[in-house]
Structure 1
Amino acid sequence: MALDDDIERVLWTEQDISKRVSELASQITDDFTPSSSPPVLVGVATGAFLFLADLVKHIKLPIFVDFIRVESYGSGTQSNGAPKISFDLKLDIQGKHVILVEDIVDTGRTLSCLIAHLESKGASSVSVCSFLDKPARRKVQFELVGKGKFYRGFECPDYFVVGYGFDLAELYRNLPYVGVLKPELYL
């Protein structure tokens, strides 16, 4: 099975991604230098793992890294209800600056749930660094905590995308680019 054959077109190449991730890391480095406490980067599993790994390699300041898992999609393309946290943080974030690292923000439901959860754990600020932002699908507006910022890699048109961590039924995550999946494969 050749994964590339299932792609209608490539939206962002490996080079586009590398350049943008480096730019985001520079912004984060600038915004959190100097800081009295290293920020905690929280990767949202599983989609953000490649983005988080690339991002932390380019951040030029001390950081902590942790993961959280939220379930809202089954194996298909439609949400199966309200997001629920199925794997929580190991680190204590009380009084710390948290940067939530997401693969994509679309409806805003998952992000809103996560921000509220991190705030309830005592984060002094919650910023969001999302690789893709799909504002056309926004259903819930989210509010950042403290002096949190929103870092966006790319604004994504309303397509079903795969690659660079994005999946369909856990497949295609390993593509080094982000592409539009052929509709006959998921409709």
Structure 2
Amino acid sequence: MSLYKPQTVNCNGETFKVYLSEEKIRTRVADLAKQLNRDYSGKKPIFIGVLNGAFIFLSDLLRHISIPSEVDFLKLSSYGDEKVSSGEVRDLKDIDANIEDRHVLLVEDIVDTGLSMKYMVEKLEQKNPASIATVTLLHKPEATRHDVPLDYVGFRIPSLFVLGYGLDYAQEGRNLAQIYILDEGESRSDHT
């Protein structure tokens, strides 16, 4: 199977370059799954993916999960089509599963300000799960403004705008097999 992984990509008039390669992502996702298999051995967790961004990460993660588990999804909006959060979280889809007395693994693509993750954890806690742990592929510690525990983190990154591997820019770029950042040199010359 051929994956879409160019060295640079143009998205919404801006140029992006590779930041995390497919190989790095694949290796780290497998490592996270090993950790989860060990930590949740003997339990049957439910993975709750946050749409739309986390669907690729969750899909790849689940292929390495060897313990009994279930999957559900929820969907929020805090970005719209912008590159920065609006600061407001809106529910677009709630989970369907009953999570009372269940071990929940909340899976997100990226945590920057922490607002959405804090909102989701508080919302899910009201459903009386046995436990909630958070899993995120990317975390921007410098951008975090809301205190939220992150139990499993793939990569800690600087406050950069990222694209690919499920992450979008105005709904484009999710299909890229690698994670990209804005190519400041290219983008500046495009806009002068």
> TM-score, normalised to structure 1's length?
0.89
Partner of 2:129: 123
Q: Distance in 2 between matches of 1:46 and 1:100?
A: 14
Spell out the pairing of 1:102-121 with structure 2 (5 A cutoff): 102-121=108-127
1:71 paired to 2:77: yes
Match of 1:163 in 2: 164
SS of the residue aligned with 1:25? helix
Where 1:81 maps in the other structure, the secondary structure is coil
RMSD, aligned CA: 1.8
Structure 1: distance between partners of 2:93 and 2:9: 34
What letter matches 1:4 in structure 2? T
Q: Which amino acid aligns with 2:106?
A: L
Deviation at 1:3, TM superposition (A): 8.8
Give aligned pairs, total: 178
Does the CA-based 8 Å contact 2:7-2:17 persist in structure 1? no
- The question of 1:14 aligning with 2:6 is answered no
Task: Specify the SS of the correspondent of 2:108.
Answer: strand
Matched with 2:9 is: 5
Select 1:45's aligned residue among 28, 45, 51.
51
Please give the secondary structure, in 2, of the residue aligned with 1:82.
coil
- Is the 1:3–1:172 Cα contact (8 Å) retained in structure 2? no
Amino acid at match of 1:9: K
CA distance in 2, matches of 1:75, 1:92: 32
User: What is the distance in 2 between the residues matched to 1:131 and 1:87?
Assistant: 21
1:116-165 per-position Cα deviation (integer Å, ceiling 9, x unaligned):
0110011111101100010110110015xxxxx61000011111110101
Gaps of 5+ in 2: 1-5
Deviation at 1:30, TM superposition (A): 0.1
**1:98, 1:117 → 2: CA distance?**
12
Identify the match of residue 27 of structure 1 among 24, 32, 35.
35
> 3-state SS of the aligned residue for 1:21?
helix
For residues 56-77 of structure 1, give each alpha carbon's deviation from its aligned partner in whole angstroms, at most 9, with x where no partner exists. Answer: 0001101010000011111111
Task: Normalising by structure 2, report the TM-score.
Answer: 0.87
What's the offset of the Cα at 1:107? 0.3
SS state at 2:63 partner: helix
Q: Is contact 1:101-1:129 (8 Å) kept?
A: yes
Does structure 1 conserve the Cα–Cα contact (< 8 Å) formed by 2:8 and 2:18?
no
Give the counterpart of 2:90 among 60, 77, 84. 84
Tell me which amino acid in the other structure corresponds to 2:178.
Y
Q: Is the 8 A contact 2:7 2:18 kept in 1?
A: no
SS of 1:27 mapped into structure 2: helix
Q: Indicate if the aligned counterparts of 1:70 and 1:87 stay in contact, CA closer than 8 A.
A: yes
Unaligned runs of 5+ in 1: 144-148
CA contact (8 A) 2:49 2:58 kept: yes
**4+ residue runs over 6 A deviation:** none
